[in-house]
Amino acid sequence: MSFEIRKKDLLGRIGLLRTKHGPVETPLLLPVINPNTQIIPPREVRERFGFNAVITNSYLVWRRFWNELSVPKIHELLEFDGIIETDSGAYQILQYGDVGVKPDAIIKFQERLDSDIGVILDIPTNQEDSKQHAKWTVDETLHRAKQAQQTITRRDILWVGPVQGGVHTDLVAYSAREMAKLDFEIHALGSPTTVMQQYQYDKLVEMIMAAKLNLPANRPLHLFGAGHPMMFALAIALGCDIFDSASYALFARNDRYLTSQGTAKLEDLEYFPCTCPACYRTSPENVKNMLKTDRERLLAAHNLHACQNEIQTVKQAIVDGHLWELVEARCFNHPALKRAFDTLLKYSDSFELETPVRKKKGPFIISEASLHKPEIARYQLQLRTNYVYPKRSKLAILLPEKHLEPFRQNYDQDQYLQKLFRISGLHVCAYSLVFGVIPHELMDVYPLSQIENSLKPTNTVRRRVTENILDWLHRSSYKSCIIVAEEQWQQKIAEAVRHRSRKVRCRIIQTEQDNEQLSKQILTLIRKRNKRMK
């Protein structure tokens, strides 16, 4: 196994990728190094910025050395002693249509270069391709991948099997299923560059998920051409492990300044919103007055710092179990990312399957979108499928959630609830905007009492809670139910439940009384009910 998963949250994971030049941790960004022109030397990329792995283009090296008997090792050529992935020239195919090198020749050349990670010469799918032509790129890439398995002689190199199909997600899914059958250590989603350049992140979500859900979980997924810090959290949450990009240099060439919130033009900046080594001793005004080459180098340095900082931020969010919160915060920075986040919500079931059952910290509920969080989906699923109602419970009481809160600290704190617990046949529950029905015996189970919530009782949220309560009552053996409502939104939920409940007779207590008075009112109501039943 060349890839070991250490921690997970959503579909994001922190892993260890083992290469012949040593291990490297994922999520991982590979800065693109042009073997011919280098704005920042590869050695500096490692020593100053902490990147232990880079990617370069074996096709550009091949054009320089193809007719020579002696080819330098790629680490010697770049003067880089870390991990080097070599691309095959497929990007040049996308740009120019042909590269004049055979697929088997570029594989053998990468073996001569002694790459740590190699990529076969696939055929990228252009976003503008018809579905018929896109299908050809998928089939031709699969054909070349099968041929590559016969050509490859060095298994100490990790080989990448690219997935194609472009915006045609059914083709992406097919390509992924077929590529998964082949013996590759890493897979990559090809052709997303144009989609990202046009800020079509919602399409990117669909493309990534079509690949991710059809590839083996124990193989890293490389998102080709992705290198902007504003989308790392989103892509990692979707299961991407490796990124590569020359954006740090390309944006610097055009006086662009990368941040996790988006891209800024140098001419628009009066202050640098960053204290990285490239920024903290200077100002935008000083940088504007630099020579072109110096300015470009400083901006490239900042852009590398910004990318590395965001990768580290995402990793810590995975450790804390707060990747969802980070993705939500990042996606509300830009309308295109917000559309992507809305698309991401369709895959909440997939996130639930991969998210740890327990975390170091409870979830934050910030908006209605937060209700799609894996922890909430898991609770609803477990309650429907695994919960066993107490035997002989014929009467349920649904209290606003706050009435069960004292039991998080001290079970004996609230005497009036103690009286309710002693009543035979009575089942005490709470109802919550976030979780719906919460049986009192589960109140201290993660994450029911560990959340931080700022949710508002909108019409959508109230309908959701109403449906949850109705489903809870329908599956129960209760004969009747008392719903306590203290606020207007609770009254609306209670009335909707009473009106629609066919199996269980519901009674509403609307009150703003303290606990002792409420307890007396409930006990009086229960005694009257018991007398009628006798």
Mean pLDDT by 10 residues, the chain (534 residues): 91 96 96 90 93 93 80 93 91 72 92 95 89 95 96 95 95 97 95 88 96 96 94 97 94 96 95 94 95 96 96 96 94 94 94 88 88 92 92 88 59 60 82 92 85 90 96 92 91 95 89 65 68 54
If asked whether residues 440 and 382 sit together in one domain, one would say yes
Where a domain ends, among 318, 347, 376?
347
Domain housing 493? 364-533
For residue 517, give the H/E element and its range.
helix 515-533
Place of tokens 């109230």: 462
CA angle 169, 171, 172 (to 5 degrees): 60
Could you say which of 9, 81, 87, 156 is catalytic?
Answer: 87
Contact 381, 418 (CB under 8 A): no
User: Is 171 inside any structural domain?
Assistant: no
User: Is 203 inside any structural domain?
Assistant: no
If asked whether residues 32 and 63 sit together in one domain, one would say yes
If asked whether residues 239 and 312 sit together in one domain, one would say yes
What is the CATH classification number for the domain harbouring 506?
3.40.50.10630
What is the CATH classification number for the domain harbouring 287?
3.20.20.105
User: Is 13 inside any structural domain?
Assistant: yes
| Residue 288: Cβ within 10 Å count | 12
If asked whether residues 443 and 387 sit together in one domain, one would say yes
If asked whether residues 328 and 425 sit together in one domain, one would say no
Question: What pLDDT shows up at residue 373?
Answer: 93
Sheet with 3-9: strands ordered across: 3-9, 12-19, 22-26
Number of domains into which the chain is organized: 2
Collect contacts of 371-379 with beta carbons under 8 A, ≥24 apart.
Answer: 371/434, 371/455, 371/461, 371/464, 372/345, 372/348, 373/324, 373/348, 374/10, 374/324, 374/348, 375/447, 376/434, 376/435, 377/348, 377/349, 377/351, 377/352, 378/352, 379/435, 379/447, 379/448
Q: What is the pTM of this model?
A: 0.91
If asked whether residues 493 and 384 sit together in one domain, one would say yes
Question: What pLDDT shows up at residue 74?
Answer: 94
CA 36 from centroid of its chain's CA atoms: 35
CA angle 530, 532, 534 (to 5 degrees): 70
Where a domain ends, among 294, 317, 347?
347
User: Is 172 inside any structural domain?
Assistant: no
Secondary structure of residue 367 in the 3-state scheme: coil
If asked whether residues 337 and 382 sit together in one domain, one would say no
At position 478, the amino acid (one-letter code) is Y
Question: What pLDDT shows up at residue 412?
Answer: 47
Separation of alpha carbons 298 and 279, rounded Å: 8
Question: What pLDDT shows up at residue 47?
Answer: 92
If asked whether residues 372 and 489 sit together in one domain, one would say yes
Helix, strand, coil distribution of the chain in percent, nearest 5: 45, 20, 35
Question: What pLDDT shows up at residue 90?
Answer: 78
At position 155, the amino acid (one-letter code) is R
User: Is 156 inside any structural domain?
Assistant: no
User: Is 173 inside any structural domain?
Assistant: no
For residue 447, cis peptide bond before it (omega within 30 degrees of 0): yes
User: Is 168 inside any structural domain?
Assistant: no
Query: 87 an active-site residue?
Result: yes
User: Is 354 inside any structural domain?
Assistant: no
Contact 497, 512 (CB under 8 A): no
If asked whether residues 382 and 327 sit together in one domain, one would say no
Question: What pLDDT shows up at residue 257?
Answer: 97
If asked whether residues 325 and 391 sit together in one domain, one would say no
Where a domain ends, among 317, 347, 377?
347
Separation of alpha carbons 376 and 297, rounded Å: 47
If asked whether residues 74 and 102 sit together in one domain, one would say yes
Letter string b/e over residues 475-489, b meaning 16 or more CB atoms within 10 A of that residue's CB? ebebebbbbbbbeeb
Burial (CB < 10 A; 0-12, 13-18, 19+), residue 280, is: exposed
Question: What pLDDT shows up at residue 451?
Answer: 85
If asked whether residues 46 and 93 sit together in one domain, one would say yes
Secondary structure of residue 516 in the 3-state scheme: helix
Contact 80, 31 (CB under 8 A): no
